[in-house]
Amino acid sequence: MKTAYIVKAYRTAVGKAPKGVFRFKRPDELAAETIQFMMDELPDFDKKRIDDVMVGNAMPEAEQGLNVGRLISLMGLKVEDVPGVTVNRYCASGLETIGMATAKIQSGMADCIIAGGAESMSFIPMGGYKPTPDYKVAAAGHEDYYWGMGLTAEAVANQYKISREDQDEFAYNSHMKALKAQAEGKFDKQIVPITVEQTFINENGKKETKSYVVKQDEGPRAGTSIAALSGLKPVFAADGSVTAGNSSQMSDGAAFVLIMSEDMVKELNLEPIARLVNFASSGVEPRIMGIGPVKAIPKALKQAGLELKDIDLVELNEAFASQSLAVIRELGLNPDIVNVNGGAIALGHPLGCTGAKLSVQLFDEMKRRGSKYGIVSMCVGTGQGSAGIYEVL
């Protein structure tokens, strides 16, 4: 089996949806500009040698439809020879593409693949424009197949006895860690600057266009407090504990990595960043989908011949504080190594982009610490969990 190495890894900043900094920026443009930036670091590389562009996306319709992966390949590489594919495992889509690309290279079916994800929750609403549940499935007693994510977060909070106070404290800490990381410039080198143009009618009644460069995640809130968070009303159940403040933010963003075979890495004299040791997904009861990593992480570790004690850092997607805390407690994770620079409650969760985004963040922090093994994991809508184990080189 061949060895596959990640040699480049970048992401955009993450904007709030639907009224944030990227509300006027199409997702295919976000992705294409990220890929352009990444490939500009290899000016002599023949882009026609790239075997595929694999794009994770959770809502592949409208501006994210028409096989947006192929459109992103055309727009980002500006050559017609490289195909593109769109991959959907909801919140794990961006990690799924890295797993698929790695496996293809390991098997000898490819030598070079761009993998990652992109999502605009400003352009495409949660659930898409026309959700169409099968009423026969619901009538047969499986309503939870179609439950909104907030209801599943409430179910996890109830089943695993996660208190409102613990959820709010977790959310507060996410913001504080993210703000500290921003202040220390920890995200600066991994974020691609994106120029956004906004056209509007000015005070004189004339059309005017202004542009601005986005280089920082929009989500972290310096003014938040435990008191403010505890004052928010539950939004999914009248007597619930899940609020807008202890849930992940709706977001826009893109993230990609460049993966090559060992032979190509040596030929081009490149320095690898990391390699994906293993990737695994598991199914869980849809009603408590947030617990998905509790099955996926042990599965990935077992297949890799590793144990939790071997893991130095964990990027666990904070879909909700309730499910994040349940996962940490059920697996016995050391909280000190989980989301050390904040998580999705503060930094955002751009669905199909998230797995790749968290991978980029993990590589940087592990490099800083001299760590060896790290995990990216998330719960997935309709009852799944995914986990990727990386070795940073």
The verdict on whether 379 is a catalytic residue reads: yes
Half-sphere exposure of 386 (CA within 13 A, CB side): 26
Four-residue CA torsion sign, 43, 46, 49, 50: positive
The verdict on whether 349 is a catalytic residue reads: yes
CA 50 to chain centre: 23
Asked if 132 and 61 touch (Cβ cutoff 8 Å), the reply is: no
Could you say which of 112, 175, 349, 353 is catalytic? 349
3-state secondary structure of 265: helix
Could you say which of 112, 175, 353, 379 is catalytic? 379
DSSP label at residue 320? B
Q: How far apart are CA 149 and CA 292, in angstroms?
A: 13
Q: What are phi and psi of 174, to 5 degrees?
A: -60, -45
First-to-final CA distance of the chain: 19
The verdict on whether 91 is a catalytic residue reads: yes
Could you say which of 91, 112, 175, 353 is catalytic? 91
Inter-CA distances, 307 with 105, 197, 323, Å = 26, 48, 22
3-state secondary structure of 102: helix
Q: What is the CA radius of gyration of the chain?
A: 20
Q: How far apart are CA 31 and CA 22, in angstroms?
A: 12
3-state secondary structure of 57: coil
Inter-CA distances, 164 with 21, 171, 240, 245, 346, Å = 31, 11, 9, 11, 18
Asked if 253 and 119 touch (Cβ cutoff 8 Å), the reply is: yes
3-state secondary structure of 257: strand
Inter-CA distances, 250 with 7, 145, 207, 365, Å = 30, 21, 30, 24
Catalytic residues: 91, 349, 379
